[in-house]
Structure 1
Amino acid sequence: MLSMRRDAKLRRDALIAAAAESFAEYGYNVPLEEVAARAGVGRGTLYRNFKDREALALAIFDTEIDRLAAIVERQQDLRQSMIDLALISSRGTALFARIAAQLVADTENMAAFEALGERFARVLDPLAERARANGDLRSDIDGAKLSLALRMVSSLFYDLHENVAGHGKLDEALDLVLDGMLALKR
């Protein structure tokens, strides 16, 4: 597999960042010319990197999963990991909800979106495994269930982001969610 040239990777990363900002600000149907302009590239560069709007959205979420995987790799305890994941993923959760509401995906793109959800669950599996081994989670909680819990908590936090009350609500929501997944102490 050939590696991407550094300048090409920088342009691709700029397009992904610009698309995330544009989709969040203007909605999923923002003109792709707007995304290209925000990234500082032409339409041709955009279409050389992404065949369509859905491919661009998939790249945004793939990048978000990479960011979340780095948090799981820190080997923190369950609660701190969930807090960090919620803080990082709140924007992605809101963006995903906004895109999903407007998305008309074909079969190929729908399969790719589902594969991203499965990838995210696999990224969270080591966290679930560590927490089960520590007695912090029930034996039936895996990465997929942690993913669902994280989406619930992150969606609440996004509305309250960056204020003290928001952090308090995040703690309360996390308490409720984690209490439901805790291993019974004997």
Structure 2
Amino acid sequence: MSDEISVAAARPLRRDAQARRDALIEAARLCFARAGYFVPLEDIADAAGVGRGTFYRNFKDRMALALAVFEQEVERMQARLDPALALDQALAQVVLEGADAATLFARLALDMPRDGADRAAFDGLRRRLEELFEPVAARARRDGMLAPELGARDLVLAMRMLSGLLLKHSSAAERRQQVEDAVRLLLAGLRPRPIPTP
């Protein structure tokens, strides 16, 4: 786990309060995926089975809730990403399994203020995401799949670019084929270039 400050509350919650907070985060994840970032907050509270008062006791606003959702998505990605995977497989896996997280990241990046607590939390989560890719980047450089000057930050940017290709209503097979084709094209540009001899 990173040393970055968690988006979650600093002091531990009672079990029932934690269950309500978790229900709100899960409901938000599903509602954002289905209806978009600007889904009414009342709909999220209803989906979680809680009232508006409970919502605002847990999250000051939409941004705070979205950051909590994104933090959970980073944790899920950390649990699933196998650093032993080849670069093409790792990118395809993360893009296909994390499409909703990538969409949320892009939305947060658009609305994020230049400074303040929300910006600090967002930047911390972005760094955690980059840390996940460090072992993948190191292996890819050793295998000659990634140019020596490129690293985890570049792979996160590549993941965001690839995620933007996915069409929401495509079939799973179409999405996989599209990602595999795009990864193949992208990796052709990420590989080290031979130094021309004079």
Which TM class, normalised by the smaller chain length? 0.7 to 0.9
Q: TM-score of the superposition, structure 1-length normalised?
A: 0.84
Q: Structure 1: state its 5+ residue gaps.
A: none
Identity rate, percent: 41
Counterparts of residues 76-87 of structure 1 (less than 5 Å): 76-87=85-96
The answer to whether the Cα contact below 8 Å between 2:28 and 2:44 also exists between their aligned partners in 1 is: yes
Which position in structure 2 is the counterpart of 1:107? 115
Distance, in Å, in 2 between the alignment partners of 1:55 and 1:38 is: 18
Greater shift, 90-99 or 57-66, is seen at 90-99
Q: 2:115 is aligned with what amino acid? A: T
Which position in structure 1 is the counterpart of 2:129? 120
Q: Report SS of the residue matched to 1:156.
A: coil
Q: Structure 2: state its 5+ residue gaps.
A: 1-9
Aligned residues: 185
**Structure 2 vs 1, CA of residues 104 and 181 (structure 1 numbering), >3 Å: closer, same or farther?**
closer
Q: Which of 166, 173, 190 in structure 2 is aligned with 1:164?
A: 173
Which position in structure 1 is the counterpart of 2:16? 7
Q: 1:175 is aligned with what amino acid? A: R
Alignment of 1:147 onto 2:156: yes
The structural deviation recorded for 1:16 is 1.1
The answer to whether the Cα contact below 8 Å between 1:27 and 1:98 also exists between their aligned partners in 2 is: no
Q: Report SS of the residue matched to 1:66.
A: helix
How far does the alpha carbon of each residue in 1:3-33 deviate from its partner, in whole angstroms, 9 at most, with x for none? 4444333322221121122234444333322
Which position in structure 1 is the counterpart of 2:37? 28
How far does the alpha carbon of each residue in 1:61-119 deviate from its partner, in whole angstroms, 9 at most, with x for none? 11111111123345322221111101111122223334555x36473223322332222
Q: Name the structure where helix makes up a greater proportion of residues.
A: 1
Query: For the aligned residues, what is the CA RMSD?
Result: 2.5
The answer to whether the Cα contact below 8 Å between 2:83 and 2:135 also exists between their aligned partners in 1 is: no
Q: TM-score of the superposition, structure 2-length normalised?
A: 0.80
Which position in structure 1 is the counterpart of 2:106? 97
